Amino acid sequence: MDGVSTAEPSRPPYETAPPAGPVAFLKGHGTENDFVVLPDPENGLDLSPATVARLCDRRAGIGGDGVLHVVRSAAHPEARHLADQAEWFMDYRNSDGSVAEMCGNGVRVFARYLQYAGHAGAGELAVATRGGVKKVHIAKGPAGDPDGGEITVRMGRAVLPGEDVTVTVGELSWPARHVDMGNPHAVAFVADLDQAGELRTAPEYAPAEVYPHGVNVEFVVDRGERHVAMRVHERGSGETRSCGTGACAVAVAAARRDGADPALTGVPATYTVDLPGGRLVITERPDGEVEMTGPAAIVAEGHISPALFVRSETADA
């Protein structure tokens, strides 16, 4: 999970009734950032915010940090202009039902689903997202490995706006680096990850106008040379086990702190980032592209009762 947009999700015109029968789903995760995967090539499902929240509920629903709605780009109004570049669109929703621009772990799980379903094989793949088209490489896995090889995603360029930002938890405050990976991040280097507190509620930040729609906040400690560990509060979700764009933001912030700027030196900067749910390897290339490499797995599939789908008109009731 990696952030939320203020835009309303585009919905199909026929949103007056729940599905006529059970809806197929899969469950997947990338470094324990877990998702409900909904294959819907022709964009026929009405995913109201209330429906998404129900699906992600870990007691009354399936449970997940978000929903990966799998739609052909040509069938979705937000992605039709990208259909000539990417066949599939990742219509991503946070667990509270809000619409997200991008999700790094989600892209890897999305790609693994396409491979699992026979829509893609090992090698190169393009995935359309609200943050643009992401180039993906699916490595060939060892023989007999059901999860396949690791997946590398070209996440785009990091933007470092340069504003002075402070994040606060309780009585502790830290300076933070503002990094934009298509969604906003505030990266704070701390002495101990426990200082971040419980992270179910959003840390305070200032100045508020830097992040008018909220921010993902990463707390980071050093583990070794170009090796860090992090915890994250994701807007719209709380603390999650992993955050792909957050790991990218952390690696870029650590590189600048360490005096490394590949655009100036011509030398790639690679950082190992440990998260509660696993490990990602992040490389910032001299051309500014940030690459993220890590695992992804499909762990279950089944069917959802139509009763979990809430009509858009009653979503806020």
Output phi, psi for 115, to 5 deg. Answer: -65, -45
Catalytic residue among 120, 230, 243, 292: 243
Residue 56 known to be catalytic: no
Catalytic residue among 38, 79, 103, 249: 103
Angle subtended at Cα 14 by Cα 9 and Cα 16, rounded to the nearest 5 degrees: 95
- Provide the annotated active-site residues: 103, 243
